[in-house]
Amino acid sequence: MDRRKLLQLGSLATAGVFMPLSSKALVLNKAVHTKTSEFDRIRLNANENPYGPSENVKKTIAESLMMSNRYPHIESIPKLKSEIAKLHGVTEDMILITAGSYQALKIIGTRLSNGTGNHVAPDLSFTVLMRQTERMGCTWKKIKTNDDKSINLQRMSDAIDSETQFVYITNPNNPTGHYISRDKIVDFCRSIPSQLPIIVDEAYIEFVKGDESESVVRLLQELPNLIITRTFSKIYGLAGLRIGYALAKPEWIEDWSTWDQGGQLGVSNLSANAAIAALQDHKFLKSSKVNIDKTRNQFSKELTDLGIKVYPSWTNFMLLESGSFQERLIPKLEHAKIDIGIGRSGVMTNLARVSVGTDQQMNQLLNLIKSVI
Ligand SMILES: Cc1ncc(COP(=O)(O)O)c(C=O)c1O
């Protein structure tokens, strides 16, 4: 396989659109990166926070090194659970701490699927959960998104049948960046039959208003079939520390914790303590949102002025129509060591997903795009 093809596959894998981060995809990515250190590359393909972690979190990480001889379940994980419980107004038995929300989604998929039937999720979606249940024999009913790439909630509801095992929705959505207002998603969750699990993946929810106000977390008390996944990888800037969580009714959390391969020890003191510090660092959260919004809006405007269609985004990435220039752009990206997510088949054909980096990184990308359109 030639180098160019490897680049495209690597980009798609990290876009989480066609392939989950399977070992196969990781090998491909590694092949792309072998020529240079990963840090030589400008990574605009994995929706990481270019500003994280915060100074306070770095200090906590350094202090936590001293606890490296201790297991995490005695102190750090219970403390993190207590902070998360306070943040969301839930009890601690409703929280499963995992190595990123990726792990939470995989456990949930394994436990909610019995290997038959279907799950209902948009065609443009984060795929980890569905790939897991597809592997187990379940079918993904791909619900066509609207022309503006928003999720069609009516079509989602209409697709539910007696064989449906769960409904999955990411809000804001990846890879589109689109956001469903809280009122609408609350109504949607309430309309789902009470015996049917509904998973709301809120990996990017803090980007909407910079706080918890848009989350559906308060609905957990009312809807026992609701599951929410969250992560510290995005606005908190801790993707490399692998820490996230699921919120759900205690019976599910208890069941999932027995299926958690680390047996509640899969998260280190370092990650748990970093997450606690991150939750308290409101200043960092705010500045990340301000910077990312500003850069995204600016980049999006520049592309629009060039005649490129950019879909509205409430996140740290954006989706754009790249079909007319992407073949010329790919070799330039490789030369400049810039990674973005380029779609070449299925629902992602002629679309690219670009994560928001620093102003300087976005300017570099902008100049490349200008040189090929
Ligand atoms: C919608 C969504 N959910 C979950 C994840 C998984 O993130 P992590 O495992 O780093 O928490 C991602 C990562 O990009 C994502 O986009």
User: Measured from the CA of 103, which atom of ligand 1 is nearest?
Assistant: 9
Given pLDDT bands bounded at 50, 70 and 90, which one contains residue 114?
confident
> What confidence tens digit (pLDDT) does each residue in 292-310 have?
999 999 999 999 999 999 9
Whole-model pTM? 0.90
> What confidence tens digit (pLDDT) does each residue in 347-358 have?
999 999 999 999
Contact 315, 309 (CB under 8 A): no
Pairing of strands 118-122, 139-143: parallel
Give residue ranges with CB within 6 A of ligand 1. 16, 47, 100-102, 126, 170, 174, 201, 203, 231, 233, 239, 244
d(C-alpha 238, C-alpha 277), whole Å: 11
Q: What is the mean pLDDT of the chain?
A: 90
d(C-alpha 150, C-alpha 215), whole Å: 18
Planar angle of CA 42, 172, 186, nearest 5 degrees: 165
**What value does the CA radius of gyration of the chain take, rounded to a whole number of Å?**
20
pLDDT at position 262:
64
Contact 5, 341 (CB under 8 A): no
> What confidence tens digit (pLDDT) does each residue in 177-216 have?
999 999 999 999 999 999 999 999 999 999 999 999 999 9
Question: Domains in the chain and their CATH numbers?
Answer: 3-52+283-372 (3.90.1150.10), 55-280 (3.40.640.10)
The amino acid sitting at 114 is N
Of 187, 139, 185, which Cα lies nearest the Cα of 165?
139
Cα 72 off chain centre by: 25
Of all residues in the chain, the percent with pLDDT exceeding 90 is 84
Given pLDDT bands bounded at 50, 70 and 90, which one contains residue 28?
very low
User: Measured from the CA of 204, which atom of ligand 1 is nearest?
Assistant: 1
Helix axes 269-280, 55-64, angle to 10 degrees: 150
d(C-alpha 314, C-alpha 176), whole Å: 9
Helix axes 359-372, 282-305, angle to 10 degrees: 20
Ligand 1 center to residue 18 CA distance, Å?
14
User: Measured from the CA of 232, which atom of ligand 1 is nearest?
Assistant: 11
pLDDT at position 30:
32
pLDDT at position 263:
62
For residues 28 and 93, the model is more confident at 93
> What confidence tens digit (pLDDT) does each residue in 52-66 have?
899 999 999 999 999
pLDDT at position 3:
41
pLDDT at position 344:
84
114: three-class secondary structure by DSSP: coil
Ligand 1 center to residue 229 CA distance, Å?
9
Ligand 1 center to residue 101 CA distance, Å?
6
d(C-alpha 46, C-alpha 16), whole Å: 8
Ligand 1 center to residue 370 CA distance, Å?
31
Cα 354 off chain centre by: 14
114: exposed, middle or buried (Cβ count in 10 Å: 0-12, 13-18, 19+): exposed
Ligand 1 center to residue 246 CA distance, Å?
12
